[in-house]
Homo-oligomer: A and B are copies of this chain.
Amino acid sequence: MSAETTSRAELLGRSLVAGTVTAECGAAFHAYSPQDGSVLEPTFYSATIEDVDRAVVAATDAFAVFAATSGQERGRLLRAIADGIDASATDLIERAHMETALPRPRLTGEVARTSGQLRLFAQVVEEGSWVMARIDTADPARTPPKPDIRSMLRPLGPSNFPLAFSVAGGDTGSVLAAGNPVIVKAHPAHPGTSEIVGRIILSAVQASGLPAGLFSLLFDSGYGVGAALVQHPGIRAVGFTGSFHGGRALMDLAATRPDPIPVYAEMGSTNPVFILPGALQERGEQLADGLYGSFTLGGGQFCTKPGIVFADASRSTAFTERLRSTTQSGPSFPLLTDGIASTYKRAVAHRGNLQTAAGQSVNIGFSAQPILLETTGERFFSDSSLAEEVFGPTTLLVHCSGIEEMLHAAHALQGHLTATILGTENDLEQNAELLRILETKVGRVIFNSFPTGVEVCHAMVHGGPYPATSDGRSTSVGSQAIFRFTRPVAYQGLPQSALPATLRDSNPLGILRLWNGAWSADVKA
C-alpha cells in the first residue's frame, strides 16, 4: 500500500518506510488524552528490526542522489514540507491538542514556528554561503610550489536519525538542509501528530521527484527501534531530545560502536536565574509575575523552564510574597503523559518540606498543580539532589545570603541550556564577574527576560555544556543547527569542471567565500 493512497484525515497507525506503509507486525500501542486519560484511536504498531534495516538501506541509496542536489533543490523540498504543514494546520492542531492537551493557540504558534523554521533553512541553503567555502589558489612560483586547495562543508554521511523534538522540527530541517536523508523515530505519546507530519514530509519528497528513502518514520512503544537505529552501521549521526538517562544511553551506544558516531542529545537543564538586588528592589512584583509565567508555561515542560532561582530575597518581601500568592491561585496543568505526571508528583513530594505555595489540584487526566519550593543557599549547597531538574510546573527559589553566595552558586553550576540575569544595568556592571562565569556554563545568557522563549534565528544557540547536551559545540535551534550534520572536504588540484559549483573560480552561486584568506563574494576569473 502506498502512503499516498490513503486520505490524510484517516490515520494509518503504521510506520512509513521509504514511501511504503509497514505491516502490523510489532507491538501495538495507543496514544492517551492527557485531559482525562482516555485511549485515543487508532491503534499504532511498533516497527520491527527488519523495518529499521529497510529504512537505513533506502536512506543510504537516497543519500547518493540527495547529497548531489543544489541548494535550490533542497530549498524547494524544505518549502514544500513547510507549505504542506501550513495547509494541514487544522488537522494537525486538532490531533496534537487531543494527544498533548496543549492549548490550541500555543499549538497554532508551534505549527507556524515549525514551517517558519523549515523556511529559514530553505533560505540558508538557497543563499549558499553557509558551506564556508575556502579557496587557496596555487602559486607555482613558490618553493615548494603551493597547490590549489579548496574546501567546503558537505553532508556528514549516508543517513541520520533524530528522535522527538517533532517530526519536522529543527533536527529534521537541518539534516535535510545539509543534504542527508533522515529516519525519524516518533514519540509514542503523540503518534497521530507524528503520522500527519510524516505523511506531509513524504508527499513533499515524492512530489520533488527525490527518492522516497530520503525519509522514513518509525513507530515504537519501547526503546528497541531507537537502539537498533543508533547501532546500525548505515547511520552516521543521531539527534535526540529527552531525558538525561535516555540521552546518555544513546551516547553510550554510539560511543561503543565499532565506528563511533556523533550524538546530538538535548537532555535537560534547570536554567538558573540570578536576580540582582537593584531589580529586586525596583520591580519585585513584576519579576515574580514574569517568573511564574515562565516556570508554568506549557505546564513547566519547556526544556528552558527556569527551575532554580537565586536571589537575596530578604531585599524584597514583595517579590517572595507575590510569587507565593500567584502560585497559590494558579490553575492545574495537564502534563503530556501519565509517566511525566507521576514523576512530577514523586519529585515534588520528595521535596515536600520545601513547599511554600501550591496551586489548584485536579484529579483527572495527567494533571499537576503548580508548586513553589524555597530553601536557603546553605541547604542548597549541602544537598546536591536539589540541583536536579524537575519536569513540570515548579521552581526552586534559593534564598542567598548575598552576592558572594550567588557567585559561589554560579561557579558550582554544571552545564545548562541557559542562564538568566535579572537586574538593572547598574547591577550588571557591579557584577561583571557573574556574567563571565555564566558564559562558560551555558549556551545562552539572557538579560532581563525569561528563558522559555527560544527564538528561531541565525544567532540562537540552544545547546550548552554537558549534561545539558551531549555536545556543547552545537545548537539544535536556529540556522547554525545545520553545521551538526556536515564535515569539511578539501579538493586539491581539481580542474574547474570537476569542482562543485560552490568552489569554482567563477563563483556561479555568488556566495561569500574565504579566497586566499580574505572573505569575498566576488567572481574570480
Q: Which residues of A contact B (CB under 8 A)?
A: 64, 67-68, 123, 129, 134-136, 144, 146-147, 149-151, 154, 156-158, 251-252, 255-256, 259-262, 414-415, 425, 428-429, 432, 435-436, 439-440, 442-449, 453, 455, 457-461, 463, 465-467, 470-475, 480, 486-495, 497-498, 512, 514, 516-517, 519
Contact = CB atoms under 8 A, between A and B. Distances in A.
Contacts of A459: 134-136, 149-151, 490, 514
Given A68-B436, A439-B154, A447 B492 contact: yes
B445 A494 contact: yes
Provide the main secondary structure of the chain A interface: loop
Contact of A147 (B414, B440, B453, B491): B453
A124 to B, nearest CB: 9
A458 B517 contact: yes
A134 B463 CA distance: 16
Given A151-B460, A260-B466, A447-B494, 16 more contacts: A64-B436, A136-B460, A149-B455, A150-B459, A151-B480, A259-B415, A259-B467, A261-B466, A435-B498, A445-B492, A447-B498, A461-B489, A461-B490, A465-B487, A473-B487, A475-B490
16 contacts: A123-B517, A136-B458, A147-B453, A157-B465, A158-B440, A260-B466, A260-B470, A425-B495, A439-B489, A443-B488, A445-B494, A458-B514, A480-B488, A512-B512, A512-B519, A519-B519
A189 to B, nearest CB: 27
A459 B136 CA distance: 6
A447 B432 CA distance: 53
A498 B458 contact: no
A481 to B, nearest CB: 11
A429 B461 CA distance: 43
A152 to B, nearest CB: 9
Contacts of A475: 488, 490
Contact of A442 (B425, B489, B495): B489
- Listed from nearest, the 10 A-B pairs whose CB atoms lie closest are A255-B255, A461-B490, A134-B459, A444-B490, A136-B457, A151-B459, A149-B459, A446-B492, A447-B493, A473-B487
Contacts of A444: 149, 489-492
B472 A487 contact: yes
Given A255-B255, A259-B466, A480-B134, A447 B495 contact: yes
A272 to B, nearest CB: 15
A488 B466 contact: no
Nearest to A248: B260
Contacts of A136: 455, 457-460
Nearest to A252: B255
A459 B415 CA distance: 33
Contacts of A149: 444, 455, 457, 459-460
Contacts of A512: 512, 519
A67 B440 contact: yes
B493 A449 contact: yes
Contacts of A514: 458-459
Given A461-B151, A495-B425, A489 B443 contact: yes
A130 to B, nearest CB: 10
A47 B447 CA distance: 45
Nearest to A257: B466
Contacts of A497: 425, 429
Nearest to A130: B514
